[in-house]
Structure 1
Amino acid sequence: MDRVIQIGCDLPAARFTAAAVDEHPRLLGGVAIHPNDVPPLAAAGRLDDALAEIAELVAHPRIRVVGETGLDYFRTAPEQHAVQQDAFRWHIDLAKRTGLALQIHDRDAHDDVLRILAEEGAPERTVLHCFSGDVAMARECVERGYYLSFAGTVTFSSAHELREALAVVPLDRVLVETDAPYLTPHPFRGATNAPYLVPLTVRRMAAVLGVDVPTLCQAISATSEELYGPW
């Protein structure tokens, strides 16, 4: 791996990302307010200021992604869904206004994520980060022109449905990621994840897609440049 997208999805991480992409030429960046951080910021009266700072940071020429944004109903109470959805819509609009790729976090919120993207009109370059849907959702995303990014979960022995979803995604819509330090691929599941373990995920993905590893790597590299521009 010779190039990385560094994502900062709270304010300290977003500030770090904006500094890191200046220092390291192999990094490009993405910034947003993660959906899990939206309700506490709103409750503290600080959400508007946080979003305003994200809008400033995306002006950096090496910040190429608005994300990760989206919805997370796993850790969010139902009464907090509305503020998450409003922030998601704000990030969608920011990505469209700036011409940047949109990277989406979707946990236990598939229907609402797809609904809001349809209502707002998704940016031309929309990525479902750490895709966790089923075959039907994967097909719908492909039909809409979205990109699907897969993490180490695709290597887990129990992830049959996820591999079935991957199998219906065209090569030019597939991405790979770490979600580091989480979702470490088999056989190191449970250890701290890092980019050096991506080959384990890529090998399993190649087997599912029925292509050799170099072919998949070339496709991912070309798609990454299409999405994020040159490093």
Structure 2
Amino acid sequence: MNVEEGALFGRPPVVVAPGAVLVPGWLGPDAQRELLEACRGWATGPAGLRRPRMPDGTPLHMRSVCLGWHWAPYRYSRTADDVDGAPVKPLPDWLAEWARTGVGDAARLDARVCRRWQQYAPDAAIINFYDDDDRLGMHQDREEDNAAPVVSLSLGDRCVFRFGHPGGRGRPWQDVVLHSGDLFVFGGPSRLAFHGVVRTIPGTAPPELGIRRGRVSVTLRETGLTDRATRHVGTARN
């Protein structure tokens, strides 16, 4: 897991926007298999996989499971209230350390990502499972109570990831193809940039990963919350 690995396969790291960095091939084959197997375990109950719904009941076009803190639009809690009410599964230390290393690698390419990356301490992960027709509309990650970066790891099929700007859902944006094993980190000036998954590209997962179909994304972030607080964010902010 380092910034040179992707370049060996002809896909060098890219600063997509100020504070937003793509590092191709950051996870090697063994690490990808390890993370995918862990995701399959986290997806089982209690507090397992579900399709999140907006406050008006509209379902999102992917399924999700959470670690550390349970996310539902537009709030965090310690229990999976929209699943079975069970306590959310813990965020493992090894995954938090992967994220901290990823922020450090991204910050070496663009210091605007995070100037004190050694202090990055993620306490929540959202794991999304995408089928062939799933997608995720343009949105901001605003439920967190701080400005620490968001770390995203991709597994399985490739996807078209649209990365915009903090001012709104409209142009300008960039469409970036994320491959299995890619790292994408955004912080600093791009921390509140709108972003989304336009589509997946079926049949593009690495054969050695052993995934039949679909894409998995693992995003980690600092919530800035304590056990005494639950964060609510109104829909007008998204």
State the TM bucket, normalised to the shorter chain. Answer: under 0.3
Which structure exhibits the higher relative contact order, with contacts defined as CA atoms closer than 8 Å and separated by 6 or more residues?
Answer: 2
TM-score, with structure 1 as normaliser: 0.28
Q: Write 1 or 2 for the structure with the bigger share of strand.
A: 2
